[in-house]
Structure 1
Amino acid sequence: MTTGLDPRGPRFAAAVTSVVLAVVVVTGSGWLLAAQAAVFAVGAFAGPGAAPYGMFYRRVVAPRLAPPAEREDPRPVRFAQFVGLAFAVVGAAAYLLGAPVVGMVAAAGALFAAYLNAAFGLCLGCEMYLRYRRVVPARG
């Protein structure tokens, strides 16, 4: 199967995201979290391969690796980007509007999810998508 997503790409992106979000939690930077929200937005609306971390993975990292043994459906990953976007928007708005505790909680929640994906391959947003699809099957 040549279509689909190299599953190592989202894990790479999650590792980069984890570093960015850790810096956000430590520094309380609403602007950095807003930048991460923009990255999530590109992944959510244009697809994970169009997001900056995904593009870097495809162009710089993947050519140095063996081809993936299998590929995965990009829809769960795209949904996970929407979930990350929601956390990042709430967190950035909270930091920038003077509610740092809410900002930190939102950033830490996103960091937790990104770290689980990077370290263990457990994508919480993907799992949410799959559970949703069991309840509400896709049409057509």
Structure 2
Amino acid sequence: MIRKADPYRDTDVIDARAPRTNQAIVGTLSLLALITGWWPILGVLAGQLAIGLVFGRRYCLPCLLYFEVIQPRVGEGRIEDSRPPRFANIVGAVFLGAATIAYLVGLNAIGLVLGLLVAGLALLAAITGLCVGCEIYRFAARLRGVRARRIDSVDLIELGASTAAGEIVVEFTHPLCTDCRSLEAELRAAGRTVVTVDVSRRPELARKYGVVLVPMAVAVTSSGAVVERLA
């Protein structure tokens, strides 16, 4: 199978199905631990999440299951930013660790609540794709100053674009973003002149123009005035 993103090298992005596989495993095992009373499973899950976060995907068992067993059979899914699911894993590890400690010191009710919270949110994400931890990360990013906002003009010279080409489309993209490539192909097929800005190489431009998610595309005149938001 040919991969667009190497799961062990291109760690700034991830196949969107991989986090959902991890969430399904964590959610199911957490629920099993609470139903059966085998609460030490929560500690094992917390440790496994922590090991994967610190040492990488090669040491994350659910990651290995997906990338080595499932993905070669079903193909590569949509590629997305790996930071939101990574943050969700951090939150999960903290809550599972806290639940384990609560059980150890006899605070079973607190351990149960924390464990149920992890199980419920993990299974919700696995089934519906709604990752609460990921959404918290995106909200926090906006609080740090990365805010989506209206763009009235862009500096074409700063972007390395010609100012004599008439109306062009400026697309903020990432080299491993599946949706970015699809949008660029659609625009070029429609006869549009497209200038791409790789946010992994020009993060200062992403912050300047308030690019929270890619792809983001605007049609601009030769003077840089924005006439239409396309994505």
Give your verdict on TM over 0.5.
Answer: yes
**Bigger relative contact order, structure 1 or 2 (CA pairs below 8 A, ≥6 apart):** 1
Indicate if the aligned counterparts of 1:30 and 1:96 stay in contact, CA closer than 8 A: no
Is the alpha carbon distance of 1:14 and 1:29 closer, same or farther for their aligned partners in structure 2, counting shifts above 3 Å?
Answer: same
Please list every run of 5 or more consecutive structure 1 residues that lacks an aligned counterpart in the other structure. Answer: none
Residue 94 (structure 1) shift: 0.8
2:92 maps to which of 47, 62, 84? 84
Q: Structure 2 CA distance, aligned partners of 1:49 and 1:119? A: 25
2:30 maps to which of 21, 38, 50? 21
| 2:43 counterpart residue number | 34
Question: Which protein has the larger Cα radius of gyration, Structure 1 or Structure 2?
Answer: 2
Q: Structure 2 CA distance, aligned partners of 1:59 and 1:126? A: 24
Q: Which has the higher helix share?
A: 1
| 2:82 counterpart residue number | 74
Q: Structure 2 CA distance, aligned partners of 1:30 and 1:109? A: 14
Give the secondary-structure state (helix, strand or coil) at the position aligned to 1:29. coil
| 2:16 counterpart residue number | 7
Indicate if the aligned counterparts of 1:47 and 1:74 stay in contact, CA closer than 8 A: no
Aligned-residue RMSD, C-alpha: 1.9
Q: Which has the higher strand share?
A: 2
Deviations 1:44-78 (A, max 9, x none): 3345564210111100110001222x301111111
Indicate if the aligned counterparts of 1:48 and 1:74 stay in contact, CA closer than 8 A: no
Indicate if the aligned counterparts of 1:48 and 1:77 stay in contact, CA closer than 8 A: no
Give the secondary-structure state (helix, strand or coil) at the position aligned to 1:72. strand
1:134 to 2:142 alignment? yes
Q: Structure 2 CA distance, aligned partners of 1:48 and 1:80? A: 15
Aligned residues between the structures: 139
Q: Which runs of 4+ in 1 moved over 6 A?
A: none
The residue identity in structure 1 corresponding to 2:143 is V
Q: Structure 2 CA distance, aligned partners of 1:46 and 1:76? A: 18
Deviations 1:1-50 (A, max 9, x none): 63420101111111111110111111232311100101221233345564
Q: What TM-score, normalized by structure 2, do the two folds share?
A: 0.56
